[in-house]
Amino acid sequence: MNWKDRTRSKGWRIAESLKGWLWRLGVLYRPKNLKQKGLVGAVTLLLLAALVVAIVTGWYWSREPAFFDVHQIALQQVDGDTSRMVTGVTYTSTLIHIGEVLLTKPGGYLSNDRMPPGVWLDNMPNWEYGALVMLRDATRALRNNFSRSQSQSVENDALADADPRFNFRNDSWILPATESEYRRGLKSLDKYLQELGVAGKQQAQFFARADNLRLYLEIVGKRLGSMSQRLSASVGQIRVNTDLAGESHARKSTDTPEILTVKTPWLELDNVFYEARGATWALKAILEAVEHDFEDILKKKNALVSLRQIVRELEEAQQPTFSPVILNGGGFGIFANYSLTMANYIARANAAVIDLRALLQQG
């Protein structure tokens, strides 16, 4: 018997064994057999079954969404009409799709769940929050920078409505529910998108300029820097206070020690890690859209490769985790430290963001 036949035979034996096990389990839960177990026995079996279903459902709901092609998503948003693929369509379509993923992924939006199994899950709600923060920043940049030509220009009404909608609290479950506010924000974004490039809709504009992009990247750099520091604090750090460095007359409201000890609490390690996973997932898609809509500017500044390097680092931060828990070994210990690995990719992406901003500032 060759290896193919042996493999096929072993597969059939496993399938038959599983079939027999499921049959016996079905017999156990027949109403007649449950009645024979008595009230306590029947309730125990039903609770065990509910627990198994909740665990399997929770595992399925906790799976992270896959990457998506921003160009294909943009084409879908304009019904495949390539003539409508004007500047800004890819960026706006990407924001809309990120919001839709948050609301329609398996299990829906979980951050405000009050019933099991969603109420027991914390990894996916933290992932959602990380992606949500990037969606908020990108929408605000669209409202204040990309859609306006000068500081004295009038802001777009649809974007003025979308921005505060996404900044609504992320865990409200009723009156109003978070999902309803975010859906209104997505409708406003879609209204702006449908008006882009339409004759007579002069207020709906997208200005792909180096100064606008640099302002957005400044916010991105601060987000990545904070995230990297929080992840690095998983093993505890002693840091020199550099709050007032470089400014001899700088002041702050409260005195702080010159040497700071920073450590993320043990129970919050996975929260910070999955928040970073969600943030890097969303930011990767947004920057891919930026590459498309700002391509001419980036080429002129010889900065296209710098943006692609940022996207590459963010993609590496999305590598699958093979451990059922987030490992937190010492910096040079015998066990892995997922937070430090993630912090490394994010810090490198942040360094590339700083380089990109410098290139955009050059004439």
Over residues 295-329, the pLDDT tens digits come to: 999 999 999 999 999 999 999 999 988 887 888 87
Work out the angle at residue 331's Cα, subtended by the Cα atoms of residues 325 and 335, and round it to the nearest 5 degrees: 40
With 60 as the cut, is the pLDDT of residue 214 above it? Answer: yes
Q: Is residue 28 one of the residues assigned to a domain?
A: no
Q: Is residue 250 one of the residues assigned to a domain?
A: no
Could you list the residue range(s) of the whole structural domain that residue 226 is in? 64-243+256-361
Is the model more confident about 149 or about 289? Answer: 289
Cβ atoms of 77 and 84 closer than 8 Å? no
Q: Is residue 20 one of the residues assigned to a domain?
A: no
With 80 as the cut, is the pLDDT of residue 334 above it? Answer: no
Q: What is the pLDDT of residue 31?
A: 72
Over residues 171-201, the pLDDT tens digits come to: 998 889 999 999 999 999 999 999 998 877 7
**Maximum mean pLDDT: which of 110-119, 128-137, 259-268:** 128-137
Domain closes at, from 63, 82, 117:
63
Q: Cα–Cα distance between 334 and 362 in angstroms, integer? A: 46
Q: Cα–Cα distance between 210 and 151 in angstroms, integer? A: 15
Residue with tokens 């959602």: 128
Instruction: Name the nearest CA neighbour of 114 among 165, 177, 181, 50.
Output: 177
Are 56 and 88 within one domain?
A: no
With 90 as the cut, is the pLDDT of residue 256 above it? Answer: no
Residue 27 identity (one-letter amino acid): V
Domain closes at, from 63, 78, 101:
63
Q: What is the pLDDT of residue 203?
A: 82
With 60 as the cut, is the pLDDT of residue 1 above it? Answer: no
Q: What is the pLDDT of residue 202?
A: 77
Q: Is residue 17 one of the residues assigned to a domain?
A: no
Are 220 and 110 within one domain?
A: yes
Measured from the Cβ of residue 173, the count of other Cβ atoms closer than 10 Å reads 14
Q: Cα–Cα distance between 226 and 264 in angstroms, integer? A: 13
Q: Cα–Cα distance between 240 and 260 in angstroms, integer? A: 6
Are 115 and 50 within one domain?
A: no
Concatenated DSSP letters for 214-265? HHHHHHHHHHHHHHHHHHHGGG-EEEE--TTTT-TT---SS---SEEEE---
Point out which residues pair with 239 in neighbouring strands.
Answer: 260
Span 118-132, mean pLDDT? Answer: 92
pTM exceeding 0.85: yes
Are 49 and 86 within one domain?
A: no
Is the model more confident about 39 or about 275? Answer: 275
Q: Cα–Cα distance between 224 and 48 in angstroms, integer? A: 43
Are 200 and 313 within one domain?
A: yes
Q: Cα–Cα distance between 133 and 282 in angstroms, integer? A: 9
Residue 189: CB partners within 8 Å, gap ≥ 6?
92, 95, 96, 99, 139, 158, 159, 162
Are 231 and 178 within one domain?
A: yes
Are 142 and 275 within one domain?
A: yes
Is the model more confident about 260 or about 96? Answer: 96
Count CA atoms within 13 Å of residue 42 on its CB side: 10
Residue 273: CB partners within 8 Å, gap ≥ 6?
231, 326, 338, 339, 342
With 90 as the cut, is the pLDDT of residue 116 above it? Answer: no
Provide the greatest CA pair distance for the chain. 84
Two structure tokens written together for 242: 């550099």
Residue 5 identity (one-letter amino acid): D
Q: What is the pLDDT of residue 34?
A: 65
Are 46 and 175 within one domain?
A: no
Q: Is residue 267 one of the residues assigned to a domain?
A: yes
Q: What is the pLDDT of residue 38?
A: 75
Are 227 and 140 within one domain?
A: yes
Over residues 130-152, the pLDDT tens digits come to: 999 999 999 999 999 999 987 77
Query: 298 in helix, strand or coil?
Result: helix
Cβ atoms of 188 and 158 closer than 8 Å? yes
Domain closes at, from 16, 44, 63:
63
Q: 6 pLDDT band (50/70/90 cuts)?
A: low
Mean pLDDT of the chain: 86
Are 47 and 196 within one domain?
A: no
Q: Is residue 13 one of the residues assigned to a domain?
A: no
Percent of the chain with pLDDT over 90: 56
Work out the angle at residue 222's Cα, subtended by the Cα atoms of residues 218 and 227, and round it to the nearest 5 degrees: 145
Is the model more confident about 323 or about 208? Answer: 208
Query: 351 in helix, strand or coil?
Result: helix
Strands 259-262 and 237-240: antiparallel
Two structure tokens written together for 323: 């451990």
Q: What is the pLDDT of residue 335?
A: 79
Residue ranges of E strands in the chain: 237-240, 259-262
With 80 as the cut, is the pLDDT of residue 155 above it? Answer: yes
Q: Is residue 341 one of the residues assigned to a domain?
A: yes
Number of folded domains in the chain? 2
Q: Cα–Cα distance between 179 and 118 in angstroms, integer? A: 15
Are 338 and 212 within one domain?
A: yes
Over residues 55-92, the pLDDT tens digits come to: 888 888 989 999 999 999 999 999 998 888 999 999 99
Q: Is residue 199 one of the residues assigned to a domain?
A: yes
Are 265 and 300 within one domain?
A: yes
Q: What is the pLDDT of residue 50?
A: 78
